[in-house]
Structure 1
Amino acid sequence: MSDREGHTGGPPGDDDLSLPKATVAKMIAELLPNDIACAKETRDLVIECCVEFIHLISSEANEICEKESKKTIAPEHIITALKGLGFDSFTEEVQDVLKDHKQQQKEREKKVSKFEQSGLTEEELQRKQEELFAASRAKFQSAQQ
Structure 2
Amino acid sequence: MSDREGHIGPGSSDDDLSLPKATVAKMINELLPSDVTCAKETRDLVIECCVEFIHLISSEANEICEQESKKTIAPEHIIGALKRLGFDSFTTEVEDVLKDHKQQQKDREKKADKIKDSGLTPEELQAKQEELFALSRAKFAQPQQQQQQLPQPQT
TM-score by length of 1: 0.79
The runs of at least 4 aligned residues of structure 1 exceeding 6 Å deviation read: 130-134
Query: What CA distance in whole angstroms lies between the structure 1 residues aligned with 2:132 and 2:42?
Result: 54
Query: What CA distance in whole angstroms lies between the structure 2 residues aligned with 1:103 and 1:120?
Result: 27
- Runs of at least 5 residues in structure 2 that lack an aligned partner in the other structure: 1-9, 139-155
Q: Answer with 22-31 or 48-57: which moved more.
A: 22-31
3-state SS, counterpart of residue 54 of structure 2: helix
Which residue of 1 is the match for residue 14 of structure 2? 14
Which residue of 2 is the match for residue 111 of structure 1? 111
TM-score by length of 2: 0.74
- Deviation of residue 35 (structure 1)? 1.7
Which residue of 1 is the match for residue 58 of structure 2? 58
Where do residues 1-145 of structure 1 align in structure 2 (5 Å cutoff)?
Answer: 11-127=11-127
Query: What CA distance in whole angstroms lies between the structure 2 residues aligned with 1:21 and 1:97?
Result: 23
**Which of structures 1 and 2 has the larger relative contact order (alpha carbons within 8 angstroms, sep 6+)?**
2
1:85-136 deviation digits (Å, cap 9, x = unpaired): 00000000000000000000000001111122123211022345667899xx
Query: What CA distance in whole angstroms lies between the structure 1 residues aligned with 2:94 and 2:132?
Result: 43
Residue type of the alignment partner of 1:42: T
Query: What CA distance in whole angstroms lies between the structure 1 residues aligned with 2:120 and 2:101?
Result: 30
Identity of aligned residues (%): 83
Query: What CA distance in whole angstroms lies between the structure 2 residues aligned with 1:133 and 1:17?
Result: 39
Query: What CA distance in whole angstroms lies between the structure 1 residues aligned with 2:125 and 2:34?
Result: 50
Instruction: Label 1:131 to 1:24 Cα distance change in 2 as closer, same or farther (>3 A).
Output: closer
